[in-house]
Amino acid sequence: MKLKDKFGYLREVEGSLRGLNRAMTQGELVQAIQAETGTSISQSYLSQIESGARPHLTNTTRLLLARFFKVHPGYLVDDPEGYHAELQSDARVLEDKLDLWLISGAERFRRDPALSHALLTLARHPDSCKCLMLLESILETPGLADRLMQALRPQEAPAPKDAVPPKEAAPKRKKKS
């Protein structure tokens, strides 16, 4: 994969992570980089990267973009001829694939804002795999999911099945004189 393709892909993912439901524009990227890193980069420089006119980055720019996109600086180079990422078995590659799958799911369910937001929140977590393992444990523990929902989001949680409805107060009677 070429640097220009990776850069376009990163803009797409970053836009999804930020809830834009589209790729961040180069202008939005310039503003976000300035706001989040305190370092400026020009939109024309980003355009040269994405068009392929600038196939190599300076080390300073590579480090800046890697820090902003939260990728390894080595990702921001052209892949060597014949390179296939799917042959790697590194845990980070698995985590990245899971995050991309979650982002794709968020896109697919964007008409359900709560579900989409939940999937993006999970994808943004540094260890989304561990989060899913925790969710598995919660679901395998009888009643725990309902109890946690009641404690953490009572407005969204259904009443527990074993809960007794509150008694209505009996109407007061007037005393007979």
| Greatest Cα pair distance in the chain | 101
- 12: in domain: yes
Domain boundary among 39, 56, 80: 80
169 domain residue, yes or no? no
Could you tell me if 72 and 96 lie in one domain?
no
CA-based nearest residue to 39, from 71, 67, 77, 20: 67
Residue 139 lies in a domain: yes
Which one has a higher pLDDT value, 70 or 166? 70
Both 58 and 116 in one domain: the answer is no
One domain, residues 26 and 76: yes
* Claim to verify: residue 7 and residue 76 sit in the same structural domain: yes
Is residue 134 within 8 Å of residue 120, measured between CB atoms? no
pLDDT in tens, 121-136: 898 888 898 999 999 9
Would you say residue 167 has pLDDT above 80?
Answer: no
Range of the domain at 117: 91-152
> Domain holding 26: CATH number?
1.10.260.40
Average pLDDT over residues 48-71: 89
* Residues 98-122, mean pLDDT to the nearest whole number: 88
Kindly report, residue by residue over 77-92, the tens digit of the pLDDT: 887 776 655 545 566 6
| Total of domains in the chain | 2
Nearest to 102 by CA among 84, 127, 66: 127
Q: What is the pTM of this model?
A: 0.48
For residues 106 and 130, membership in a common domain is answered with: yes
Q: Within this chain, do residues 109 and 144 fall inside the same structural domain, yes or no?
A: yes
User: Which whole number is the average pLDDT over 33-60?
Assistant: 90
**In this structure, are residues 156 and 55 in contact, taking their beta carbons and an 8 Å threshold?**
no
Reported as a pLDDT band with limits 50, 70 and 90, residue 63 is very high
The CA-atom distances, in angstroms, between 87 and each of 4, 60, 128, 134 are 22, 30, 22, 28
